């Protein structure tokens, strides 16, 4: 109980010292404020970018494997000649997988290209995608007005199209509902059956901005661009219980090898890809950004720490006489040490708190496609870092104060 009372008394003395020298306190914590603001801001930006990109990648299909001709991740010495001779995916292979897969929620064949859509004198070059019926169960197709494709439209090469928000605005300026209107793709008329919600710009462009996309049935797409030999991918969505998609990937591999008549000794002549590769790629970039930003912010923290240490040495010098009186009245060394150590920690924590508050205010600024989110983890990291800097900066001055000889200290002026 005695130790606890003295600990609380040390905290009170430290707080009173900070209040007494208010101007010096404010000037001392500026360095830590800048340092904590820098490091928390860097981590907040990187984490927010990471979350935004993960959300965007998930919108392309979470738990989905993509079967295609080319691998998405290649080493520096990849055998391109091996991949270029592979057969492209065929519509009948898609139908075969669709009929025989037992561990998939949905399956779709898809391909895309840049092409020009026209309506009278209005035109726009856009990302046109040909997709089959279940594509909206795999990837996000946010229909705002109208409807998605019907089974008979995707099976029978119907000339129908779903427009992204910017495509609709370019082809039908100053128009509201355009359902039932016609546009031209490669000189052929297509009926507009739906418009998608406006999403805005993404942090990264996977397949282009969703507002600049248009969808038509895959069978229609294949007939429209058959001279250019489409190279589609087949997307297969796993069940939720198949967390790593290993079961689905194994089944797809077996079926594809059987369909293509591959012998046990032959390599696969197709690739199975996942968006996990893109996630890992961006994670490595963000890890490097965290390290680089952390090192830069560390220098600011060191400057702030030296500032606090300097002020604490001055504080010890000013209060040497008081330290001598306290010791002559029976104060223990740890009581004196805690006074100055708590004062340094309070200085650092207040500075850190102000820095975190500035980051929180910054989260209300509009950064376009980046939504800044200050997480609880980054707040705690900032406060713990500030505490560590306070202890590191205050331990030596506090130790010097605690080791002062009481007689010599009382006689000092």
Instruction: Provide the Cα torsion 377, 380, 386, 388; round to 10°.
Output: -100
DSSP letter for each residue of 52-80: HHHHHHHHT-TTEEEEESS-SS--TT--H
Q: Extract the tokens encoding 343.
A: 């004062």
Taking only the tens place, the pLDDT of each residue in 114-160 is: 999 999 899 999 999 999 989 988 888 889 999 999 988 988 889 99
Q: Which residues contact 297 (CB under 8 A, 6 or more apart)?
A: 35, 38, 39, 42
Instruction: Provide the Cα torsion 275, 278, 280, 282; round to 10°.
Output: -150
Taking only the tens place, the pLDDT of each residue in 9-56 is: 656 655 665 566 666 666 667 777 888 888 888 888 888 877 777 766
Q: How far apart (Å, rounded) are the C-alpha atoms in residues 130 and 111?
A: 5
Bridge-based pairing of strands 182-185 and 188-196 is antiparallel
Angle between helices 333-362 and 276-318 (to 10 degrees): 140
Q: How far apart (Å, rounded) are the C-alpha atoms in residues 335 and 331?
A: 6
Q: Average pLDDT over the chain, rounded to whole? A: 82
Q: How far apart (Å, rounded) are the C-alpha atoms in residues 204 and 233?
A: 21
| pLDDT at residue 394, as a whole number | 83
Q: Extract the tokens encoding 60.
A: 């392309």
| pLDDT at residue 170, as a whole number | 92
Q: What is the largest CA-CA distance in the chain?
A: 101
The 10 Å CB-count burial string (b at 16+, else e) for 93-119 is: bbeebbeebebbbbbbbbbbeeeebeb
Alpha helices in 201-275 (DSSP H): 218-224, 246-259
Report, as ranges of residue numbers, the positions in the chain whose pLDDT lies below 70: 1-28, 55-61, 73-79, 200-208, 276-281, 283, 368-369, 409, 411-413
């Amino acid at each position: 109980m005695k130790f606890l009372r003295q600990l609380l008394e040390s905290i009170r003395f430290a707080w009173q010292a900070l209040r007494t020298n208010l101007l010096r306190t404010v000037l001392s914590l500026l360095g830590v404020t800048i340092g904590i603001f820098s490091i928390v801001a860097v981590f907040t930006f990187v984490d927010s970018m990471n979350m935004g990109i993960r959300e965007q990648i998930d919108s392309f299909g979470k738990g989905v494997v993509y079967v295609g001709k080319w691998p998405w991740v290649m080493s520096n010495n990849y055998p391109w000649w091996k991949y270029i001779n592979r057969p492209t995916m065929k519509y009948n292979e898609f139908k075969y997988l669709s009929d025989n897969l037992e561990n998939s929620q949905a399956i779709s064949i898809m391909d895309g290209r840049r092409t020009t859509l026209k309506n009278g004198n209005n035109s726009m070059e856009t990302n046109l995608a040909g997709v089959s019926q279940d594509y909206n169960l795999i990837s996000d197709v946010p229909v705002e007005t109208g409807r998605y494709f019907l089974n008979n439209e995707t099976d029978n090469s119907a000339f129908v199209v779903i427009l992204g928000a910017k495509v609709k605005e370019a082809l039908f300026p100053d128009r509201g509902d355009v359902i039932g209107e016609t546009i031209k793709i490669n000189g052929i008329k297509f009926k507009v059956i739906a418009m998608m919600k406006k999403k805005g710009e993404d942090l990264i462009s996977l397949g282009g901005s969703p507002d600049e996309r248009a969808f038509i049935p895959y069978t229609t797409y294949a007939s429209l661009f058959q001279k250019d030999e489409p190279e589609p991918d087949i997307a297969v969505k796993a069940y939720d219980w198949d967390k790593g998609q290993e079961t689905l990937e194994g089944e797809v591999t077996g079926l594809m090898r059987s369909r293509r008549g591959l012998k046990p000794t032959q390599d696969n002549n197709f690739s199975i890809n996942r968006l996990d590769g893109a996630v890992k790629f961006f994670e490595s970039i963000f890890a490097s950004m965290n390290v680089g930003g952390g090192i830069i912010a560390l220098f600011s923290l060191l400057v702030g720490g030296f500032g606090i240490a300097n002020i604490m040495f001055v504080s010890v010098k000013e209060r040497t006489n008081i330290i001598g009186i306290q010791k002559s009245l029976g104060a223990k060394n740890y009581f004196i040490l805690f006074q100055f150590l708590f004062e340094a920690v309070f200085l650092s924590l207040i500075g850190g708190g102000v820095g975190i508050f500035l980051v929180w205010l910054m989260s209300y600024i509009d950064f376009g496609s980046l939504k800044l989110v200050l997480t609880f983890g980054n707040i705690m990291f900032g406060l713990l870092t500030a505490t560590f800097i306070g202890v590191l900066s205050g331990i030596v001055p506090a130790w010097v104060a605690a080791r002062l000889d009481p007689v010599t200290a009382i006689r000092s002026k």
